[in-house]
A and B are shown apart, each in its own frame.
Chain A
Amino acid sequence: MQKYSLQLTDEEKEILAGKQGETMRKALESVVLYGQIFGAEHLAPIGGSVHLVTSFGIPLLKPVFSLVDELIAAGLKTAKPFTVDPRPMDFQNVPVNILEKFIFKKIMYGKQAQYEEQLRKVGLKDDKSFTCTCYMDEVGNIPRKGQILAWAESSAVVYANSVLGARTNRNSGLLELLCGITGRAPVFGLLTDEGRKADWLIEVKTKSLPEAQILGSAIGMKVMEEVPFVSGLTSFLGEELNQRVKDYLKDMGAAAASNGAVGLYHIEDLTPEALELSRGLLKSGYKTYVIDDAELKRVRDSYPLMWKNPAARPKVCFIGCPHLSLRQIYEWLEHFETELKSSGKKKLAVTTIMTAAPAVADAFRNDKVSYSRLTGIGARLTSICPLMYMNNPLCAKKAVMTNSNKLRTYTTARYFTDAETARIAVEGGIYG
């Protein structure tokens, strides 16, 4: 057996010697090598359910399919049922033309059905488990504070660490599944007390509550994968971690994770570890980044415009990357109705697609009056991943607008603030 620098239990040594089969050996070897690169001293048992990032059956991902096939052939599955990122397609609620549908079904995600069958065999919770916000109450993959996890999906990782106080590294797709299969995660980085200390003090000195998506973007671009400790937000958000605040932090964190590689942030007087340790979380020699209104404008002005025709009228508007909470769906309905009323209009001018976890969308649909109001103004509610929709080269050529900085980062979608998004979706054009 190869020598590893980690302290391994007798059972782990036996697995690595092949006593539980070649596939299990490879799974654990991957986890051990992963820890070894980062100086982990040992592996820890995973406490919660895994959350997977890979939810899409792109035929190109042959190495993924063959790896999962190996796991299935060996009879391996995760100890606890897992959740996974959103599905890429929903033709019932997301409009596509015949050609786009053909490309989605036959070319882009031609292996979707087979891949979902693979996921079921290795431990997928159920058919409603496709979301990037598995931590919503309606979905139920909610880790406890201090619980060791092995999650992927950058927006979920940063939320679990920061808002819930659980402990997971930013694991790559497949590595998180292998951790789930072996029931172990290497202890390094964000799993350690030292790794959760802050390298940066972020001083928010804006005149009003910053747009979560731009604040997160500014933080991510500055600190990259280091840990920021953010001060100055509670004067706007208050000191109660209620659903409104959680939603703000969800969106801020997703922007920080995609514009940089932030896996954990602390918000002074608000998030669990900041409440316990306050500025004691700051490492000695920490760096400082002051964010004022001018800095936020500078960051936003740096976003490239990827539309072929910058003056185009938007064709599609995506709201909900990461997926919306139930509260946010209601809030957007009110935004739109207020904007429509002031414009003297009855329907949105831009095809507007709101995305939420299947269980969250169901909860909203169960409120038949509100759902009828939403569909009545022309908005659509789905549970797809907007990023996967934009992967289709035909869709990528469209003038798509979004309030998501994550979607902007990975696609040709154009970013607008929440207020701008509501106005443009109603008016149909971009003015001023």
Chain B
Amino acid sequence: MAEKTREFKGRAVMPGNVSGEAVVSRQGFNTLASFQKGAMSNKKIIKCGDQNNADVYGKALSGKVLCLPKTIGSTTGGMVLQTAASMGAAPLAMLFSEEIDSLAAAGVILADVWNGIPHRHCRQFGGGISRFCSTWSEDRHI
């Protein structure tokens, strides 16, 4: 299949350049429920463990470009993202179709300020990114 490209413009919360396969959650992404099981098992590739998210349940999250509206659920979320980042098992980037939420933002800040992990990039788009990814291909590159 020919690779299609489309440009999105958004605010760079933590700027940088990455390339990777997209994983798309059209609903709120529950960070704790998604990462808990994999992180507890100390796996390098964490698969989404959130039973309530049919879009991404069972799919690898590590090293992917996670497209989501925002994160939801437990307030351990930021710390869980920081831990996944320190394990080298976080998504390469997170593209938000809505305003970034406080838990995801905390994860980015904690990893950056306290662990010096510069390769976490969050970008916030006005909308359409999740729809675009999900209507095209699950494994397309961004």
A residues lining the B interface (CB < 8 Å):
26, 29-30, 33-34, 37-38, 53-54, 58, 60-64, 66-67, 70, 108, 152-154, 157, 169-176, 189, 224-225, 258-261, 304, 306, 391, 393, 409-410, 412
Contacting pair A224 B28 (CB below 8 A): yes
**Of A29, A157, A175, A410, which is within 8 A of B36 by CB?**
A410
Specify which chain B residues have a CB less than 8 angstroms from the CB of A37 in the assembled complex. 13, 100, 105, 109
Q: Are B79 and A61 in contact (CB under 8 A)?
A: yes
Interfacial chain A residues near B113, Cβ < 8 Å:
26, 29-30, 33
9 smallest beta-carbon distances between A and B, as pairs = A172-B78, A172-B106, A173-B79, A261-B72, A152-B75, A175-B106, A173-B76, A63-B86, A37-B105
Query: Does the CB pair B110–A174 fall under 8 Å?
Result: yes
B114 at the interface (CB under 8 A from A): yes
Residue of B nearest to A51 (CB): B75
Flag if A157 contacts B78 (CB, 8 Å): no
Ordered by A's residue number, 8 sampled pairs between the chains whose C-beta atoms are within 8 Å are A62-B86, A108-B40, A170-B103, A173-B75, A175-B106, A225-B72, A261-B72, A393-B40
Residue of A nearest to B31 (CB): A172
Contact string against A for B residues 110-130, beta-carbon threshold 8 Å, 1 for contact and 0 otherwise: 111111000000000000000
- Per-residue CB proximity of B9-37 to A under 8 Å, as 1/0? 00001000000000000001010110010
B48 lies within 8 A of chain A by Cβ: no
For A172, give its contact among B30, B70, B100, B102 (CB under 8 Å).
B102
Contacts of A29 in B (CB 8 A): 113
Q: Which residues of B contact A170 (CB under 8 A)?
A: 75, 101-103
Asked if B114 contacts A26 (CB within 8 A), the reply is yes
**B55-87, CB under 8 A of A: which get 1 and which 0?**
000000000000001111111111100110011
B28 nearest CB neighbor, chain A only: A224
| Given contacts A34-B106, A63-B114, A172-B103, A410 and B33 within 8 Å (CB-CB) | yes
Find out whether the CB atom of A304 lies under 8 angstroms from the CB atom of B51: yes
A194 to B30: give the CA distance in the assembly, Å: 26
- Nearest CB to that of B71 among chain A residues? A261
| Chain B residue contacts of A61, Cβ below 8 A | 79, 83
A261 close to B106 (CB less than 8 A):
no
A174 touching B105, Cβ below 8 Å: no
Q: Complex formed: what's the CA distance from A253 to B78 in Å?
A: 21
Cα distance, A306 to B28, chains bound together (Å):
20
Min CB distance A334 to B, Å, is 32
B39 at the interface (CB under 8 A from A): yes
* A409 in contact with B79 (CB, 8 Å): no
Residue B137 lies at the interface, judged by CB distance under 8 Å to chain A = no
Q: Does B107 contact A (CB under 8 A)?
A: yes
- How far does the alpha carbon of A412 sit from the alpha carbon of B49 in the complex, in Å? 11
Asked if B82 and A63 sit within 8 Å, CB to CB, the answer is yes
A61 to B115, CA, bound (A): 12
Identify the closest chain A residue to B103 (Cβ).
A172
Complex contact B83–A172 (CB within 8 A): no
Contact with A along B128-142 (1 / 0, CB 8 A): 000000000000000
Establish whether residues B102 and A30, one from each chain, have CB atoms under 8 Å apart when the complex forms.
Answer: no
Which of A38, A60, A225, A409 is the one whose CB lies under 8 Å from B33? A409
Q: Looking across the interface, which residue of chain A has its beta carbon closest to that of B81?
A: A172
Q: Is the CB of B40 within 8 A of A58?
A: yes
Further contacts, 13 of them, CB under 8 A, given A38-B102, A64-B79, A172-B76: A30-B113, A37-B105, A53-B75, A53-B76, A54-B76, A60-B83, A63-B114, A66-B114, A108-B40, A172-B106, A260-B28, A261-B70, A261-B101
Q: How far is the CA of A43 from the CA of B112 in the complex (A)?
A: 21
| Chain B residues in 8 Å Cβ range of A33 | 109, 112-113
Task: Point out the residues of chain A lying under 8 angstroms from B77, CB to CB.
Answer: 172-173
Given contacts A63-B115, A172-B79, A172-B103, contact A306 B74 (CB under 8 A): no
Of the candidates B74, B87, B103, B106, the one whose C-beta lies within 8 Å of that of A258 is: B74
Shortest CB distance A240–B (Å): 30
Q: Bound state CA distance, A60 and B114, in angstroms? A: 16
Given known contacts A224-B72, A306-B51, A169 and B78 CB-to-CB distance under 8 angstroms:
no
CA distance A412 to B112 in the complex (A): 33
Q: How far is the CA of A67 from the CA of B115 in the complex (A)?
A: 9
Contacts of B79 on A, CB cut-off 8 Å? Answer: 53-54, 61, 63-64, 172-174
What chain A residues lie within 8 Å of B106 (beta carbons)? 34, 171-175
A410 to B74, CA, bound (A): 9
B82–chain A nearest beta-carbon distance, Å? 5
Contacts of A66 in B (CB 8 A): 114
Query: Chain B 82-108, CB within 8 Å of chain A: the 1/0 string?
Result: 110011000000000000111101110
A30 cross-chain contacts in B, Cβ below 8 A = 109-110, 113-114
Please name all residues of chain A whose beta carbon is closer than 8 Å to the beta carbon of B111 when the two chains form the complex. Answer: 63
A419 to B12 alpha-carbon distance, docked (Å):
49
Q: For A26, list chain B residues within 8 Å (CB).
A: 113-114
CA separation between A153 and B78, bound complex, in Å? 12
Contact B101 A225 (CB under 8 A): yes
Q: B30 — which chain A residues lie within 8 A by C-beta?
A: 409
- Could you tell me the distance in whole angstroms from the C-beta of B10 to the nearest C-beta in chain A? 13
From residue B103, how far is it (CB to closest CB) to chain A in Å?
A: 5
